[in-house]
Amino acid sequence: MLIHNADRRMQIYGALLLLPAAVLLGTFAYLPTVATLINSFFLPGFRGAPPEFVGLENYAMLVEDRTFWRVARNNLIYAFGTIPTSIALALGMALFVNARLPGRGFVRMAYFTPTILPMIAAANIWMFFYAPQIGLFNKLLGALGLSGVNWLGDPSVALTSVIVMTVWKEAGFFMIFYLAALQSIPPELKEASDLEGTSRWSFFWRVTFPLLMPTTLFVLINALINAVRVVDHLFILTKGGPNNATNLLLYYVYENAFSFFDRTYAATITVVILLVLAVVATLKFTVIDRRTHYQ
Amino acid sequence: MTAMPRLHGQRGSSMNPDNNNQGQDQGPQRQPSAPHATMRDHQRIRLEAVSKRWGDTAAVDAIGFDVAPGEFVILLGPSGCGKSTTLRMIAGLEQASSGRIEIGGRDVTHLPPGDRGISMVFQSYALFPHLSVADNIVFGLRSRKVPKAERRERLARVAQLVDLEAYLERKPAQLSGGQRQRVALARAIISEHPICLMDEPLSNLDARLRGEMRREIKALQQRLGMTVIYVTHDQVEAMSMGDRVILMQDGRIVQDATPSELYERPASAFAAGFIGSPAMNLVTLSAAADGAVIDGEPRCSVAPHEAKGHWLGLRPEEIRLLPADAPGVPAEVIDAEYLGADSIVRLKVGSQQLRARLDGRPSLAAGSPCRLQWRREAAHFFDAGDGQRLAIAGHDLAAPPGRHRFEPGLAGASTQEREARASSHPAGNDSSGVNR
């Protein structure tokens, strides 16, 4: 009986320790998720009327919505444009600053600076780079005698411009993870392969890259989530325009909820985003995890 | 003959291989430029005034030595003495600040490691954690673009050699320490480089495994005729494996000699103290009327006058304990530490302390008086200033009592006293078996 009581007390103790985190997560993550799912089955009630249950009608509308597909396609291009580029750049920068070079600390700092900047501030800086008349890029092009590009105004260029800015912002952040992973690789491995006359290139592909796989997986998941989650720069740079050329899923959700006041439709899109993200993350973990060596 | 077998006798079976080594190494080591060695001259390693400096401190200070083909050379020394740095400079992993390194008559001082024709075994093994044992072993062959068929054939041969056939598909993390060590060895052997450098390869293993691997590495080296430079701080490894031992201290070579020379004729007090377990006794000598005596024990002189003020070095296993009425240096037992095959007895002589290694378990009561003797050749003398060996011969202590080096008055009184005590404590009775 005494043991039973002590056991029970331990359980309560454990539950109490979990409580703060559970409350926070429940209130701000799980509850909204469930509420969103429920909302997506309703039409918004206007002028104080109660919301009307419509089942899957919102989802049917979504399938018909050409803007949604446009935005989804944009987001896919955005993801494919930002993720591999920023990861490759991050790895390259990490390899560079991991080597012995003068002013290494300064270079590391410089690479990491974009990450410290808030997205809004970074977007403001890039506004001045991209601005059609006074912008840095067009000034440079003008100096070379080339006519400028309307970086953010031209629908065929705008998305690429947004992608470039995002890569600039994210690469430094991912570099930190790669740098940490590189420093955990014992230097003797390099020495052992040097003794066999292994070239740098060969050492990278046969040793360094496989040993960095856990980091790559982690960064990949993070980059994917960021590609869908971070849209702050759109508020400053393009507001999703011109003609939805740079509109991304989350920004489209925001527009629906707070510009068009169609909160249940916004909820529907959110549910779809969550589902897609969950499926992709599961795939990545099951497929890549099997080929990854964890130390 | 007394010294070596005793040292190894207590440690088990390494006596025979060691004696073999001593026999063999005389050839290449004594005459490094012997003509018969020219056919394998690509294995010769020569260091000339090689230094490594970081800022103002010299980790390795103008070191020079020759390694003959097929020789097993040990770089021995306490941590921080520069032995690993020396090895890494030979490997090319560290650039020499000055001096010249030759391998096979070729100046390799500025060559990258991969072009020096050497393999290396690291203390941490440096296995690639994501590769299987087989892939780890053939890693270098793939770098050197060896055809697949040959790779497989060489892998099979080496795996058999180091007894790893059953583990080829495993990852290093699934192996025991000894097996990992074997993978590292296999990786060095499969390259078929005639020279292998080893940087404390056994220090991560437990004591039993270390003994096994010691014999295995030595056997492999002899079977494959490899030239090995082996870094260690473990004197047992150095004595049992090396054809030649280079003892280092503070970036310099203290002594470069065969294990038996190192043991029997240490070049300095440092060398004397580093080799042997327990280490050689070093006691201060002071002046007396008839020669140098152990400080605080004026009754028995142990060396001629010129030894006074310097150090006398005595191996614990060379000291014989005799009854108090025998000739020799008067001493008093402090305590005895029983180790199984033998015991370490601490003795007080004048103001100095000595340790003696005695067979079995001598029944010595603390405080009982006794006499010490040693062979003339067993007494080493070292300069009190720089620790260098002095060419002084000690007195013969086994001479009958009553000779001139006993002070007449003192000797008579103390002899009676000692006889009385010796009968009640049969302290010296075991001494007949001691040390000879």
Give B342's strand partners. Answer: B359
What pLDDT is recorded for position B410? 39
- Tell me the C-alpha to C-alpha distance, in Å, between residue B329 and each of B295, B297, B319, B366, B418: 12, 8, 11, 17, 13
Which of B267, B294, B321 is the endpoint of a domain? Answer: B267
Band (B18; pLDDT cuts 50, 70, 90): very low
Residue of B nearest to A214 (CA): B130
Band (B36; pLDDT cuts 50, 70, 90): very low
Count of the separate structural domains present in chain B: 2
DSSP B412: H
Q: What gap in Å lies between CA B174 and CA B169, rounded to an integer?
A: 10
* Whether B245 and B288 share a structural domain: no
Q: What gap in Å lies between CA B188 and CA B198, rounded to an integer?
A: 9
Over residues A178-202, the pLDDT tens digits come to 999 998 899 899 999 998 888 889 9
* Whether B61 and B205 share a structural domain: yes
What pLDDT is recorded for position B87? 92
B122 to A191: CB separation less than 8 angstroms, yes or no: yes
Residue partners of B355: CB distance under 8 A and separation at least 6: B278, B281, B316, B344, B345, B346, B347
Residue of B nearest to A191 (CA): B93
Q: What gap in Å lies between CA A149 and CA A161, rounded to an integer?
A: 11
Chain A CB contacts of B142 under 8 Å are 206
A186 to B124: CB separation less than 8 angstroms, yes or no: yes
Residue of A nearest to B91 (CA): A195
Is B412's pLDDT higher than 50?
no
Which of B227, B242, B267 is the endpoint of a domain? Answer: B267
What pLDDT is recorded for position B154? 92
Is A31's pLDDT higher than 80?
yes
* Whether B311 and B190 share a structural domain: no
Tell me how many degrees the CA angle B264-B265-B268 measures, rounded to the nearest 5.
130
What pLDDT is recorded for position B399? 58
Instruction: Assess if residue B320 is contained within a domain.
Output: yes
Assign residue B351 the CATH number of its domain. Answer: 2.40.50.140
Q: What gap in Å lies between CA A255 and CA A232, rounded to an integer?
A: 13
B→A interface, C-beta within 8 Å: 91-93, 112-115, 118-120, 122, 124, 126, 128-130, 139-140, 142-144, 171, 173, 187, 191
What pLDDT is recorded for position B25? 40
Range of the domain at B88: 40-267
Q: What gap in Å lies between CA A108 and CA A180, rounded to an integer?
A: 12
- Tell me the C-alpha to C-alpha distance, in Å, between residue A25 and each of A7, A20, A229: 27, 9, 18
Tell me how many degrees the CA angle B11-B13-B14 measures, rounded to the nearest 5.
80
Is residue A191 within 8 Å of residue B93, measured between CB atoms? yes
Instruction: Assess if residue B4 is contained within a domain.
Output: no
B143 to A197: CB separation less than 8 angstroms, yes or no: yes
Is B364's pLDDT higher than 80?
no
- Tell me the C-alpha to C-alpha distance, in Å, between residue B192 and each of A194, A291, B90, B158: 16, 32, 18, 10
What pLDDT is recorded for position B89? 92
Q: Which amino acid is at B84?
A: S
Instruction: Assess if residue B21 is contained within a domain.
Output: no
Over residues A93-119, the pLDDT tens digits come to 888 888 877 888 888 888 888 888 888
- The whole-model pTM stands at 0.73
Is residue B280 within 8 Å of residue B272, measured between CB atoms? yes
* Structure tokens belonging to residue B231: 């870094």
Chain B CB contacts of A206 under 8 Å are 128, 139, 142
Q: Does A184 touch chain B (CB under 8 A)?
A: no
* Whether B308 and B258 share a structural domain: no
Give residue for tokens 């998720």.
A33
The least confident of B31-45, B74-88, B144-158, B189-203 is B31-45
**Complex confidence, ipTM:** 0.73
A-B CB pairs within 8 A amount to 69
Q: What gap in Å lies between CA B215 and CA B17, rounded to an integer?
A: 9
Burial class (CB in 10 A: 0-12, 13-18, 19+), B217: buried
Residue of B nearest to A187 (CA): B126
The least confident of A205-209, A283-287, B238-242 is A283-287
Instruction: Assess if residue B436 is contained within a domain.
Output: no
* Whether B392 and B248 share a structural domain: no
Q: Cα distance from A114 to chain B (closest Cα, Å)?
A: 34
* CB neighbourhood size of A248 (10 A): 26
Residue of B nearest to A211 (CA): B130
Is residue B50 within 8 Å of residue B99, measured between CB atoms? yes
Band (B196; pLDDT cuts 50, 70, 90): very high
What mean pLDDT comes out for the span B390-417? Answer: 54
Instruction: Assess if residue B260 is contained within a domain.
Output: yes
What pLDDT is recorded for position B193? 87
- Taking the domains of chain A in order of start, what are their residue ranges? 40-290
What pLDDT is recorded for position B427? 38
* Whether B339 and B292 share a structural domain: yes
Q: Which of the listed ranges B1-5, B127-131, B403-407 does the model predict with the highest average pLDDT?
A: B127-131
* Whether B253 and B366 share a structural domain: no
B139 to A198: CB separation less than 8 angstroms, yes or no: yes
Share of chain B above pLDDT 70, in %: 81
Chain B CB contacts of A192 under 8 Å are 120, 122, 126, 139, 187
Chain A CB contacts of B191 under 8 Å are 196
Give residue for tokens 């440092």.
B270
Band (B3; pLDDT cuts 50, 70, 90): very low
User: Which of A100, A196, A217 to mutate: most B Cβ within 10 Å?
Assistant: A196
* Whether B76 and B196 share a structural domain: yes
The least confident of A13-22, B115-124, B202-211 is B202-211
Over residues A238-260, the pLDDT tens digits come to 777 787 788 888 888 888 888 88
Over residues B301-356, the pLDDT tens digits come to 888 888 888 899 999 998 888 888 888 888 999 988 888 888 899 999 888 899 99
Is B174's pLDDT higher than 70?
yes
DSSP B300: S
* Whether B292 and B182 share a structural domain: no
* Whether B381 and B318 share a structural domain: yes
* Whether B179 and B286 share a structural domain: no
Over residues A131-151, the pLDDT tens digits come to 877 778 877 887 887 777 777
Is B33's pLDDT higher than 70?
no
* Whether B110 and B220 share a structural domain: yes
What mean pLDDT comes out for the span B254-271? Answer: 90
Q: What gap in Å lies between CA B44 and CA B65, rounded to an integer?
A: 11
B140 to A193: CB separation less than 8 angstroms, yes or no: yes
According to DSSP, the β-strands at B291-294 and B301-303 are: antiparallel
Assign residue B208 the CATH number of its domain. Answer: 3.40.50.300
How many CA within 13 A on the CB side of residue B165?
7
Candidate from A195, A213, A295 with C-beta closest to B120: A195
Is residue B52 within 8 Å of residue B96, measured between CB atoms? yes
Is B403's pLDDT higher than 80?
no
pLDDT averaged over chain B?
A: 80
Residue of B nearest to A199 (CA): B143
Residue of A nearest to B171 (CA): A293
Which of B208, B239, B267 is the endpoint of a domain? Answer: B267
Band (B40; pLDDT cuts 50, 70, 90): low
Q: Which residue has the higher pLDDT, B324 or B432?
A: B324
What mean pLDDT comes out for the span B355-379? Answer: 86
Band (A224; pLDDT cuts 50, 70, 90): confident
Chain A CB contacts of B113 under 8 Å are 191, 194-195, 197
**Chain A from 190 to 219: CB within 8 A of any B CB:** 191-199, 202, 206-207, 210-211, 213
The least confident of A140-149, A196-205, B220-229, B393-402 is B393-402
Candidate from A196, A213, A295 with C-beta closest to B191: A196
Chain A CB contacts of B144 under 8 Å are 196-197
Is residue A175 within 8 Å of residue A112, measured between CB atoms? yes
What pLDDT is recorded for position A152? 78
Arch. (CATH architecture) of A40-290: Orthogonal Bundle (1.10)
Does the CA dihedral B395-B397-B401-B405 come out positive or negative? positive
What pLDDT is recorded for position B86? 92
What mean pLDDT comes out for the span B117-132? Answer: 90
Chain A CB contacts of B129 under 8 Å are 211, 293, 295
What pLDDT is recorded for position B209? 84
pLDDT averaged over chain A?
A: 85
Q: Cα distance from A197 to chain B (closest Cα, Å)?
A: 4
* Structure tokens belonging to residue A257: 């909820």
Instruction: Assess if residue B236 is contained within a domain.
Output: yes
Residue partners of A265: CB distance under 8 A and separation at least 6: A58, A61, A62, A256
E strands, chain A, are: 42-43, 52-53
Chain A CB contacts of B130 under 8 Å are 207, 210-211, 213, 293
Is A9's pLDDT higher than 50?
yes
What pLDDT is recorded for position A295? 56
Q: What gap in Å lies between CA B152 and CA B167, rounded to an integer?
A: 15
Q: Which amino acid is at B33?
A: S
